[in-house]
Amino acid sequence: MTVDGSAIDEQDYDVSMLNQIDTSKLGEQELRLRVHYAPYYKDITVKANIIWGSTLVAEDQSQTKVDASVSLLHKPDEIPYLNANQGFGVLNPNMTTQPSFQILRQNDKNKLIDVTSDSFENPQDMAGRWNGMFEKVSLRYGDVAVMSVKSGDGSENLHGEDTFISRNETLVKETVGYDDAFYELTSNGYRLMHVNQFIVNKDVHVPLHTTKEEMNKDILKFINPPETVASSDKYRIEFESVDTASSGKKSSVVSVYEKLESGGEFQRNYTVDYIVDPEVTEYYYDTEANLFNKEMTSFEYGTSFTPGPRKYIDKDEILYIYKGWSEEKPDTENFVLQEGIPSSTSREKAYYYVYEKADQLINVTIPTDIVFGTYDDSKVVSSKGYDIKNNSSEVDLEIDLSKFEKIKSDVTLLNANDSDPSEKEASARLNLMVGDKTAISGLTESTNDQELTYLPSGQSSRIRISGTYFGESSEKHKVEYAMHLKFKAQGQNKK
């Protein structure tokens, strides 16, 4: 300021307002000021332009007037405060929407302010009532404002269509499609948050007994950020607890934490529905209550599982055959072995299958003597056929010649690789026949562990001795051998 062309220091004069302007409404207003420089004073008129600043606005349903408008302002000591105002003008006398406004701290359960409205209320009266509530609460940066707008009768949420925010003095919609608009209070104004915009997925299936840690690793199967979220680093998502001890349709709370520009996090909880699928555990025991296998099968909730214990199990080269089942663990007080196959189940369950060694079921008829020799001065060694019969109805048999033992003999036996002698000598080449086929060629005292035949249950095979004698037919030799057979149970139809 200058007086008679000379500049005056600010501390040498003061300025006072001669009238009050209405800062609750946008636009230019005249402000009369009195400048006092003792002993002089001068009255002047200036233009004051009221702007949006950082303001949340609920427009009426025609979007031509304001039903509610809340500006974020700052005191000199950097303490935020709120003011409900008229914006660019309100309807008179009643509103056409029902806006509500909340202030939350740290999470969506901790409400510092919760103000509502109805369509029978005058907008100016509502703004006065809201400001009365705002004045009672001390706010701080990092608190979260929530605005929601419903239709005039309160029956329908308008999903952000009538919710606006001022950006560069222009009202824009930032939360279309959402019931509520969440904004952090910052020193730079309202900051849009996305913590309320996460998408909960439906019909997610999880296995029985899935842990909270496992579900948190797959958290995005259950809930996803909106496409508008550019960086997931600003969010932390986790289950508060899970309910997977039994199958069925379950619900749990998932907490979403959004980092605040002012420091710390804001938490919002979502209810997440999911389906825990049943799981059947099948235990395989022998008759001595030794566990040798366990199988776990998960199946979709709402369907059923049909148990199918295998008839045979091979373990350590020993064949076991199914004997029965129980719902109780073997070698416990309530264990009762049941025959047959368990019924289907639609829930989680444990089955205990019992197996016995299949070798116990071997029942075979074998010849005790096989008589062979040369007849009619022939060099041909032969015997009649002798039947081996598998009498078991449960198992097939693998039959091996484990040992061919000399009891008494003065005849040399030739193996399959020995050449026929060039001169007559007391030697012979013996073959063990099964049916019309040679099972073992060149039986000797060193023949052992040779596969003889495979005999299905209820069937027979005929064995006999064939061969050639290379000595004088006039010489007589009486020989005796012991043939040791080994029988091993096999699952039916294995071969």
Ordered by start, the domain boundaries in the chain are 2-50, 55-192, 200-274, 279-360, 364-490
pLDDT of residue 380: 94
364-490 under CATH 1.10.3470, yes or no: no
- pLDDT tens for 10-63 read 787 888 888 776 766 776 777 788 888 787 778 887 777 677 889 999 988 887
pLDDT of residue 88: 63
Q: Residue 150 CA to chain centroid, in angstroms?
A: 38
- Is the pTM higher than 0.85? no
pLDDT of residue 75: 87
pLDDT of residue 92: 62
- pLDDT tens for 218-236 read 999 999 999 888 777 899 9
pLDDT of residue 482: 96
| Per-residue CA distances from 250 to 69, 440, 444 (Å) | 41, 67, 73
Strand partners, 42: 35
> Hey, how many other C-beta atoms are within 10 angstroms of the C-beta on 291?
12
Beta sheet of 170-172, edge-to-edge order? 80-84, 66-74, 55-59, 163-167, 170-172
Q: Is 417 exposed, middle or buried (0-12, 13-18, 19+ CB in 10 A)?
A: exposed
Distance CA(238)–CA(257), nearest Å, equals 9
Task: Tell me the mean pLDDT per 10 residues along the chain, length 495.
Answer: 74 80 70 81 77 88 85 89 79 81 98 90 88 95 97 92 94 96 97 97 96 97 90 91 98 98 97 98 96 95 96 92 96 95 97 96 95 89 96 95 96 94 92 96 95 95 95 90 95 76
Beta sheet of 205-207, edge-to-edge order? 205-207, 265-277, 248-259, 235-239
Helix (H, G, I), strand (E, B) or coil at 57: strand
Helix (H, G, I), strand (E, B) or coil at 383: strand
Residue type, 15: V
Strand partners, 404: 483
Distance CA(466)–CA(384), nearest Å, equals 9
